[in-house]
Amino acid sequence: MFGKEQLLSFIVSIPALLLAITVHECAHGWAAYYMGDHTARYSGRLSLNPLRHLDPIGALCMLFFHFGWAKPVPINPMYFRNRRAGIITVSLAGPVSNFILGLISCILLYVFSYFVPMNSMLSSFVLSILLQSVYMNAGLMIFNLIPIPPLDGSKILLEFLPYRLQFKVYQYERYFSLILILLVYAGTITPVLSVFQMYVLRFYEFVSALIVNIFV
C-alpha cells in the first residue's frame, strides 16, 4: 500500500518521467536527422508527444524500480554522411538532452522557490515535479552513459574499437543486456552512479544559484 507521501511522489514522477524520456528519444531522432538519416522523421518520432516514445512496461519499471526503457528511435547509420560521427552524435544526443533538461528544471526550481510562496497545494505540486525532473534527468543521463550494451555509452565506446571487436559485442548484445539488468538488480553499480549523480546535482545547484543571484 502507498502512504500519502509515497503516493504523491509517484504522481509527480509521472510527468517528470514522460518529459525526460520524450526529450531523450526525440533528441536521438533530431540528431540522426541532422546527420543525414531521416528514418526517425518518416516513423513519426521527431515529436514531443510522449505516446510516440512510450514503452508502457519500460515506463512502469522506471517508476517502480528506477530502471526502465523507452521505445527506441529507429536509426539507420547507412544514411549518415559520416558513419562514426553520426553514431557518436546520435548516441550523445539523448544523455546531453537530459543533462540540459535537468539543468533547466533546477534553474526553474530555484526561480520558482524565490518568487512563489510555498503555501498552496499547487505551488508544492509544481515544486515537486521540478525536483523530480532534476533528479530523474540527472540519473537518466548518467545511467545511459554506462558503456554496456544496449546503452548509449556503449555505442560511443564501440566506435573507438576495432570493427571485429564491435561485431563481437553486437553479436552478444542480448547477453550484455542481461548482465546489465543483473548488475542493476543486485545494486552493484548503484553506489558508483550515485557519486556521479551527486556531482551533476552540485553543478546544477551552482549554476542555478549563480543565475538567481545575478538576475534576481
pLDDT exceeds cutoff 50 at 1: no
87 or 173: which carries more pLDDT confidence?
87
The confidence score (pLDDT) of residue 186 equals: 83
Given 25, 159, 173, 205, the catalytic residue: 25
CA distance 42 to 57: 25
The confidence score (pLDDT) of residue 215 equals: 78
Q: Which residue has the cell 552524435?
A: 89
Per-residue model confidence as pLDDT tens digits over 62-115:
777 666 778 889 999 999 999 999 999 999 999 999 999 999 999 999 998 888
* CA distance to 16, 99, 158, per residue, from 200 (Å): 18, 8, 25
Compute the average pLDDT of residues 154-178: 87
Q: CA nearest 134: which of 155, 107, 152?
A: 107
Cβ contact 164:44 at 8 Å: no
CA distance 81 to 34: 10
* pLDDT above 90 as % of the chain: 54
Compute the average pLDDT of residues 38-51: 91
214 pLDDT band, cuts 50/70/90, is confident
The region of weakest confidence among 23-27, 43-47, 55-59 is: 55-59
The confidence score (pLDDT) of residue 83 equals: 93
25 is catalytic: yes
pLDDT exceeds cutoff 60 at 157: yes
Per-residue model confidence as pLDDT tens digits over 69-79:
788 899 999 99
7 or 178: which carries more pLDDT confidence?
178
* H-type alpha helices, 66-189: 83-115, 121-144, 152-158, 163-171, 173-186
95 or 128: which carries more pLDDT confidence?
95
Domain spans, the chain:
4-215
Cβ contact 59:44 at 8 Å: no
